[in-house]
């Protein structure tokens, strides 16, 4: 008898790998007018839309009953003003859908020569990601390009896919086309795939599946401990992280990196903790920014909570609701971090009051 979620894992790997191929080739050909600014001022490119259409299409063929929470929607593309962008997305998605089958691919997933779709079908595939989320049943979570700003800069980004059952992440796959296999060799081989299944561990491999290596986080070591944090100051408070770092007497500089590549680097031991302290009030973290990454870290021996130590709740809808930031670290460091966060925040509060 095969292990639980074996087919879902294979499908997720195949979908993420094909999407990484798509996004890498888009980057080389991307032109200025192929990026839109969304209502929340964040960028979205033809690569984000096409990768979501591709992944959603593969999920739809394999599991037509499963709902999908995907970051993007096709509203702007369906409008007359979106027609140029739409044509480009259709071209890119069909190019990726019709690539030859590789090892681990199945034609039943709607891929391979002759499997192109119409523009209307592809817009519908993107919009299958409009599910509102929830506490019960199966659902997939897609972030077709996480770290779009990193993607545009030619730096780190990740193609992210997770399967949740009753609001628990069961399968997580993260593809990082620009990430060095070994961070200490930045000019060495690039392109990493991180794969985790609940209860079955986590692995890193190349995008083609070569050199699968089990992941296990090293224990807390104050002499080498450091943080991973977002590049964008609007996404995380660098200054709060600095205060926490000082309280913990951390001497190594933080590693700034876009996207859930941070979870991958944490899981393989490149740093001690991923710290995401809110930069302002009111932002609700999106479930697709944390679902696969949190499982990856848990399956590598870590723990992921908000900054008060509360577990992340993936059952509240498309966001994590009122969770305050995110902290991911090895289990032996977690309570130290939570205590330092509380101290840093109360010092910040004290500073604000004394200034008033
Ligand atoms: N204000 C605010 N606070 C926190 N997070 C936010 C905020 N605004 C956006 N986002 C989300 O951040 C996602 C990008 O991931 P990172 O923050 O890890 O990357 S970055 O270094 O900041 O680029 C990014 O994901 P993508 O849109 O997929 O790139 C957003 O979902
Ligand atoms: Mg985005
Ligand atoms: Mg994202
Ligand atoms: Mg995204």
Distance 70 CA to ligand 4 centre (A): 9
Task: Indicate whether 110 and 199 sit together in one domain.
Answer: yes
Say if 1 falls within a structural domain.
no
Q: Model pTM? A: 0.96
Task: Indicate whether 37 and 127 sit together in one domain.
Answer: yes
CATH assignment at residue 324: 3.40.190.80
Predicted local distance difference test score (pLDDT) of residue 284:
96
Q: Give yes or no for residue 47 CB within 6 A of ligand 1.
A: no
Q: Give yes or no for residue 233 CB within 6 A of ligand 1.
A: no
Distance 71 CA to ligand 2 centre (A): 7
Task: Indicate whether 127 and 233 sit together in one domain.
Answer: no
Mean pLDDT by 10 residues, the chain (356 residues): 94 98 90 82 92 98 98 95 93 98 96 98 98 98 97 96 98 98 95 98 96 96 95 94 95 97 98 95 95 98 97 98 93 97 88 68
Task: Indicate whether 27 and 100 sit together in one domain.
Answer: yes
Show the DSSP H helices in the chain as ranges.
6-29, 46-62, 75-78, 83-97, 119-127, 148-153, 238-247, 261-267, 291-299, 331-355
Q: How far apart are CA 69 and CA 203, in angstroms?
A: 24
174 in Cβ contact with 264 (< 8 Å): yes
Task: Indicate whether 162 and 232 sit together in one domain.
Answer: no
Q: Give yes or no for residue 153 CB within 6 A of ligand 1.
A: no
Task: Indicate whether 233 and 190 sit together in one domain.
Answer: no
Task: Indicate whether 195 and 56 sit together in one domain.
Answer: yes
Q: Among the three residues 180, 214, 248, which one is the final residue of a domain in this structure?
A: 214
Q: Which structural domain range is residue 347 located in?
A: 227-355
Task: Indicate whether 89 and 199 sit together in one domain.
Answer: yes
For ligand 4, an ion, list residues with CB under 5 A.
71, 143, 145-146
Q: How far apart are CA 229 and CA 328, in angstroms?
A: 11
């Amino acid at each position: 008898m095969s292990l639980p979620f074996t087919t879902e894992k294979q499908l997720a790997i195949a979908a993420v790998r094909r999407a990484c191929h798509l996004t890498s080739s888009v980057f080389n050909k991307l032109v200025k007018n192929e990026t839109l600014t969304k209502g929340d001022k964040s960028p979205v490119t033809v690569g984000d839309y096409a990768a979501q259409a591709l992944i959603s299409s593969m999920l739809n063929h394999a599991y037509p009953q499963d709902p999908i929470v995907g970051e993007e929607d096709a509203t702007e593309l369906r409008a007359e003003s979106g027609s140029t962008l739409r044509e480009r997305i259709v071209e890119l998605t069909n190019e990726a859908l019709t690539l030859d089958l590789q090892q681990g691919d199945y034609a039943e997933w709607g891929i391979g020569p002759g499997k192109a779709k119409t523009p209307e079908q592809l817009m519908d595939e993107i919009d299958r990601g409009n599910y509102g989320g929830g506490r019960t049943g199966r659902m997939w979570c897609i972030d077709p390009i996480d770290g779009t700003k990193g993607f545009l800069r030619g730096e780190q980004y990740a193609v992210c896919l997770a399967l949740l059952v009753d609001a628990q992440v069961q399968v997580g796959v993260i593809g990082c086309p620009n990430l060095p296999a070994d961070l200490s060799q930045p000019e060495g081989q690039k392109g990493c795939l991180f794969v985790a299944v609940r209860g079955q561990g986590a692995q890193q491999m190349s995008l083609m599946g070569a050199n699968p290596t089990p992941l296990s986080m090293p224990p807390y070591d104050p002499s080498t401990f450091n943080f991973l944090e977002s590049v964008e100051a609007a996404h995380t408070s660098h200054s709060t992280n600095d205060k926490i770092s000082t309280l913990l007497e951390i001497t190594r500089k933080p590693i700034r990196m876009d996207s859930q590549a941070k979870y991958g680097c944490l899981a393989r031991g490149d740093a001690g903790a991923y710290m995401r302290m809110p930069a302002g009030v009111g932002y609700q973290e999106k479930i697709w920014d944390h679902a696969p990454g949190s499982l990856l870290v848990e399956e590598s021996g870590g723990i992921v909570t908000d900054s008060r130590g509360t577990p992340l709740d993936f059952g509240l809808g498309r966001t994590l609701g009122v969770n305050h930031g995110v902290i991911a670290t090895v289990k032996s460091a977690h309570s130290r971090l939570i205590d330092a966060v509380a101290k840093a925040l109360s010092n910040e509060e004290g500073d604000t009051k004394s200034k008033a």
